[in-house]
Amino acid sequence: KTHTRKVICFLQPLCHERTGFLPMGTYGLAVAPDGSQVYITWNGNQGTPLSDRRVRFNTCALTVVHIPESERMP
């Protein structure tokens, strides 16, 4: 083992910019048995402008992050 870790972060701006979905809160994570994918479930908002005073949950979403073979645990 290399005793190093990598972090997947800053998904909120990417999701909002590409799809208009704003991940906001509670989520769950699961890793595929072979380590090839990470599944993330989100509660969030679709369609409310960020300039609104209060953005509320109105949509659930699933994000799948593909992990390159070279980055997986043996």
The three-class DSSP label of residue 46 is: strand
Whole-number pLDDT of residue 62:
93
> Residue 66: which of 27, 22, 35, 29 has the closest Cα?
35
Provide the 8-state DSSP code for 68: P
Distance CA 28, CA 24 (A): 13
Q: What percent of the chain has pLDDT over 70?
A: 97
Segment 25-46, tens digit of pLDDT: 878 999 999 999 999 999 999 9
